[in-house]
Amino acid sequence: MSFVFSESEELFRRQIQEFTQKELAPGAKERAKKTKVDMSVVKKMANMGLLAMNVPEKYGGQKVSWVTVGIAIEEMSKADFTVGVLPIGTCGYLGQALSYAPEYLQDRWFKPVIDGDILACLCLTEPDAGSDAVGIKTRAVKDGKDYVINGEKTSISWGMQAGIGVVFAKTDPKAGARGVSAFLMPTDTPGITKSSIPDMGWPTAQRASYFLDNVRLPADNRLGDEGQGFFLAMNVIGVVRICLTLQAIGHAEGALDEAIAYSKQRTAFGRPLANFQAVSFRIAEEATKLEAARLLCYRSLGLRDAGERHLKEASMAKWYGARAAMEACHEALLIHGQIGYSEECRAEQRLRNVIGSEIGDGTAEIMKLNIAREMIGKEFQPL
């Protein structure tokens, strides 16, 4: 499979680069300190059509490849980590989830999201169930024409600001993976109590916990049939993992670019830092690792576009890519020296941002388990 962008993909990449430099780069450093997404920036993304990728045409969307989605996320994240991944909310988990919803729900929710009026969130993780999605304890019990949901969801990115969420709950606790169902849940539904989670990085995402106390949703808000939720979640998470990794890689590429610029103008012992092998070799090493990681991501997205199985490749991309991004941001900070440790420099914020990429949507241990299982076989999977 080719790893070279097509002519149209390369043109799109240049368009996103221009948009990023004009609309995202200015003010990105200050926006990164906020605890809310700047919705005026989201509106600019909406006007570019970046929130409408892979949304049905009847709602103003357009069909594009997942490689194209990845390009947009990587390029935007170089400048602004806080909004770089927002397209995955509409074309990823919300877009795919809404495809299982009745048409009137699609009519109600697609437009405000792709127009940049509200944000969407994914409510899967629980205090005792992160990577073990089947182990969730949140219950959804049928009551007439409604479902009544009780439980707790946590680590919800944009949870304090999102207007709509996709929530997963057990409808049949004895059925394992086939007992999980998915629901579309407006976040102002009575019975939802939100609690903010202060983080060391990416404060704009404002992760949250939702306490669900007798939350009542119409049965039509169920996405697909009862018991389809786990398989919907796995289908969504597969592409989300790759896009989140490209977010981290793009952010690390931005960090490395800034470190290169700094090494050319900062002098030591009468020479620019870039003249010293100790600096230039570190840049070469991190650039190589980032390039390998991004190629893993685009290969996985290419397999997704081709309709082929890509669990192994997506897991490789997530594990290695998140690690490579963190290491590149760390080295970029060290190249800046003492100023890199200061809030005056973006290097420290970039590092704090990407560390979370090693945790969210699958840890390295789970990714390695996926890889081993795909290569060796489930009967010989590590314990």
Indicate whether 330 and 277 sit together in one domain.
Answer: yes
Average of pLDDT values for 303-326? Answer: 95
- pLDDT tens, position by position, 117-129: 999 999 999 998 8
Do both 175 and 295 map to the same domain?
no
Residue 66 domain-assigned (yes or no): yes
Q: Report the percent of the chain where pLDDT is more than 90.
A: 75
Which pLDDT band holds residue 77 (cuts at 50, 70, 90)?
Answer: very high
For 336-366, the pLDDT digits (tens) are 999 999 999 999 999 999 999 999 888 999 9
Span 294-304, average pLDDT: 95
Mean pLDDT of 293-311: 94
The pLDDT assigned to 2 comes to: 56
Residues facing residue 149 across a β-bridge: 140, 215
Residues 285 and 376 both lie in one domain: yes
The verdict on 208 and 236 lying in the same domain is no
Q: Which two structure tokens, joined as six digits, stand for 361?
A: 């949507």
Q: Which of the 8 DSSP states describes residue 5? A: P
Q: What's the average model confidence in pLDDT over 10-32? A: 94
Buried b / exposed e along 177-212 (16+ C-beta atoms within 10 A) = ebbbbbbbbebeeeebebeeeebebbbbbbbbbbeb
Determine the pLDDT at residue 269: 94
Residue pair 192/211 in contact by the 8 Å Cβ criterion: yes
Give the list of residues 6+ apart from residue 40 with CB closer than 8 angstroms, or none: none
Do 240 and 258 fall into the same domain? yes
Out of 227, 247, 267, pick the residue that ends a domain: 227
| pLDDT bucket at 92, cuts 50 / 70 / 90 | low
Name the residue type at position 328.
A
The domain spanning residue 352 has which CATH number?
Answer: 1.20.140.10
- Reference 240, options 147, 129, 341, 124; nearest CA is 124
Q: Based on the structure, what is the number of domains in the chain?
A: 3
One domain, residues 154 and 184: yes
Is position 2 within any domain? no
In this prediction, residue 156 carries a pLDDT of 93
pLDDT over threshold 90, residue 320: yes
CATH code of the domain containing 66: 1.10.540.10
d(CA 301, CA 104): 31
Contacts of 276 (CB under 8 A, 6+ apart): 268
Q: Are residues 330 and 351 in the same domain?
A: yes
Structure confidence at residue 99 (pLDDT): 80
Mean pLDDT on 242-246: 94
Q: Are residues 87 and 177 in the same domain?
A: no
Mean pLDDT, all residues of the chain: 92
pLDDT at 361: 83
* DSSP calls for 69-104: HHHHHHHHHHH-HHHHTTHIIIIIIIHHHHTTS-HH
Higher pLDDT, 100 or 256: 256
Q: Tokens at residue 264, please?
A: 């050319």
Q: Are residues 352 and 287 in the same domain?
A: yes
CB 79 within 8 A of CB 20: yes
Query: Among 60, 83, 114, where does a domain finish?
Result: 114
- Among residues 191, 209, 227, the one where a domain terminates is 227
Say what the pLDDT of residue 266 is. 96
Domain ranges, residue 260: 230-380
